[in-house]
């Protein structure tokens, strides 16, 4: 890349780019600034560019995890802290399960010829389009009355795994196809069984695909609201559910709610900066070949 030369462009062109960047991240920046303000500053009439940044809103949200007692709080509300723990557990566990069984399925679909492979591919594609809103009623009914796992983290994890699997299988397929089959044959000649071939030869080669798939899976589990709202009880609520719950109250505490929103937004933002290339690959797979 270093020897690449760049064309000189019209200055107006750079102005356009700067405007686009401001538009793209402006709202996120506003949220960050608001989360660092006291409510007095948020509500004051002068549009205040100058204010004392404070971490108080974050202290209020995270008071459960702090080793000291924030002096501005009379009573610590553990709701958000609990939700954060739930979100982390649900996100990580469902991502892990989805990836393990998703990779295995994708591998089988690509490498083994057996009856019904085309049918399975079409079904995966179709299932990918199912929106959470469509699953709301049946999942609520089945989880409550038949499986008896409503209100548990396990119940929410199960929905997320099912919701993410089609996409993960679909995207990993495109990575596994590129693994040269000669490598696998060589391993088999040396006496490796199918599971050894899969775990020791194929898995290390499709790491970028796995990175993309895990980011997408974690993001869905971390961000999802509707199904979590229907399934969770007081103890298994995730962060999006608590945010919406605190919104319906009449008087909105913008500072604290923006701090919680910021905390919810931070992991996806970090992933984006760490693995933007993989994310873009994941987004363009299917529409753009190559």
* Contacts of another protein in 188-247 (CB under 8 A): 194, 198, 219, 222-223, 225-226, 230, 240, 243-244, 247
Quick check: 283 and 272 in contact, CB under 8 A?
no
HSE-CB of 276 using CA atoms within 13 angstroms = 4
Q: Report the alpha-carbon distance of residue 92 to residue 154 in Å, rounded.
A: 12
Kindly state whether residue 49 participates in binding another protein, applying the rule CB under 8 A: no
Strand (E) or helix (H) holding 238: none
Q: Report the alpha-carbon distance of residue 74 to residue 207 in Å, rounded.
A: 49
Report DSSP state, residue 63: G
Quick check: 259 and 58 in contact, CB under 8 A?
yes
| Ranges within 263-282 binding another protein (CB under 8 A) | 264-265, 268-269, 271-273, 276-277, 279-280
> 36 — phi, psi (to 5°)?
-100, 5
Which of 158, 176, 206, 212 contacts another protein by CB under 8 A? Answer: 158
Nearer to another protein, 24 or 52 (CB): 24
Report DSSP state, residue 98: H
Kindly state whether residue 257 participates in binding another protein, applying the rule CB under 8 A: yes
| Ranges within 94-133 binding another protein (CB under 8 A) | 100-102, 104-105, 107-109, 111-112, 114, 120, 122, 125-133
CB 222, min distance to another protein, A:
7
Kindly state whether residue 11 participates in binding another protein, applying the rule CB under 8 A: no
Q: Report the alpha-carbon distance of residue 243 to residue 115 in Å, rounded.
A: 47
Which of 30, 40, 66, 177 contacts another protein by CB under 8 A? Answer: 30
Kindly state whether residue 43 participates in binding another protein, applying the rule CB under 8 A: yes
Which of 56, 258, 259, 278 contacts another protein by CB under 8 A? Answer: 258
């Amino acid at each position: 890349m270093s020897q690449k030369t760049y064309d000189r462009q019209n200055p107006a062109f750079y102005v356009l780019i700067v405007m686009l960047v401001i538009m793209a991240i402006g709202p996120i920046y506003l949220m960050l600034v608001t989360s660092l303000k006291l409510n007095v500053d948020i509500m004051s009439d002068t549009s205040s560019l100058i204010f004392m940044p404070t971490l108080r809103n974050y202290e209020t949200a995270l008071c459960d995890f702090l080793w000291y007692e924030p002096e501005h709080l009379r009573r610590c509300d553990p709701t958000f802290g609990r939700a954060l723990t739930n979100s982390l557990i649900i996100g990580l566990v469902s991502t892990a399960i989805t990836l393990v069984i998703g990779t295995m399925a994708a591998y089988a679909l690509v490498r083994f010829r057996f009856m019904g492979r085309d049918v399975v591919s079409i079904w995966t594609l179709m299932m990918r389009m199912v929106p959470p809103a469509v699953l709301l009623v049946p999942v609520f009914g089945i989880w409550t009355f038949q499986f008896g796992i409503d209100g548990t983290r396990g119940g929410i994890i199960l929905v997320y795994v099912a919701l993410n699997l089609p996409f993960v299988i679909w995207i990993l397929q495109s990575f596994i196809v590129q693994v040269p089959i000669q490598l696998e044959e060589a391993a088999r000649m040396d006496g490796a069984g199918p599971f050894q071939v899969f775990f020791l030869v194929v898995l290390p080669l499709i790491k970028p695909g796995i990175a993309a798939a895990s980011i997408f899976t974690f993001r869905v589990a971390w961000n999802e609201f509707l199904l979590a709202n229907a399934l969770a009880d007081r103890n298994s609520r995730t962060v999006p559910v608590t945010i919406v719950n605190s919104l319906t109250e009449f008087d909105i505490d913008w500072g604290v709610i923006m701090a919680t929103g910021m905390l919810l937004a931070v992991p996806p933002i970090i992933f984006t900066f760490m693995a933007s290339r993989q994310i873009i690959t994941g987004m363009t797979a299917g529409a753009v070949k190559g």
